[in-house]
Structure 1
């Protein structure tokens, strides 16, 4: 069974629109660490500002594993607002900025001692 190119394009566009709609309603946002040799991805709860991180780690003699770093000091829930993640353009920076879109406050979050930690929010 063959599908015409026009039909495929229509299906792709419909799928893209569904994805965009779902992304707008999603409670989480994800962003990579700027460091170019680090495979770490940060996750933020957009309503609470809670931040965590995960990365891939090789496992000797087998398939690798996903290692996650739960929220630690300063990375837990903040005052309810509208939060986002903003990587810097510094190619050797392992942390990421947590920004409060409503207040303009920012903090930097990074992995320390197997936890994701964040500095105090500041303007």
Structure 2
């Protein structure tokens, strides 16, 4: 028995491929954001990243007298706005007192540290960086010998919980 050309195996396979690609695009469009909780165990903060642009924002719960509370959100500030188009994600460190997270570019391997700068009420991120080429000085070696010019030393992360203005960095 021969199938009509409209129902041939090649035609059916083509229809299946089109349907699969359409559903993948719809799933990707529906899931264009990723959400990650800040690693601090005493902070109720969630970071959001646009997976395509790398823009990072954040929201947290705030108490309010005689009400259920309020959701406080922080817009993208310096370095946290849209980046070069790519494929971005968020990673929280396992440091129990850190309030920031890392933005990673899954295509290039570069990353930056992002946190809420309370005084400005904005999410800010460091410049995207990656490991140096093989055979050159690494950031780890530079940290062991001292801070880079204009940079804080390795233990410059202020504690969280309001003791230093709440500007923790990863």
TM range (shorter): 0.7 to 0.9
Q: Write the mapping of 1:24-63 to structure 2, written as runs, cut at 5 A.
A: 25-63=30-68
Tell me: CA distance 1:50–1:60, structure 2 relative to 1, closer, same or farther (3 Å). Answer: same
- Select the structure with the greater relative contact order (CA < 8 A; seq sep ≥ 6): 1
1:105 counterpart residue number: 110
Query: TM-score under structure 1 normalisation?
Result: 0.80
- SS of 2:54's equivalent in the other structure is coil
Aligned length: 103
Larger radius of gyration: 2
Q: Write the mapping of 1:1-123 to structure 2, written as runs, cut at 5 A.
A: 22=27, 25-112=30-117, 113-123=120-130
Tell me: CA distance 1:46–1:65, structure 2 relative to 1, closer, same or farther (3 Å). Answer: same
In structure 1, distance between residues paired with 2:85 and 2:67: 42
Query: TM-score under structure 2 normalisation?
Result: 0.58
Q: Is there any run of 5+ residues in structure 1 with no aligned partner, and where? A: 1-20
In structure 1, distance between residues paired with 2:61 and 2:28: 24
Aligned structure 1 segments of 4 or more residues deviating by more than 4 angstroms: 21-25
Q: Is there any run of 5+ residues in structure 2 with no aligned partner, and where? A: 1-25, 131-170
RMSD, aligned CA? 1.5
Question: Shift of the alpha carbon at 1:63?
Answer: 1.4
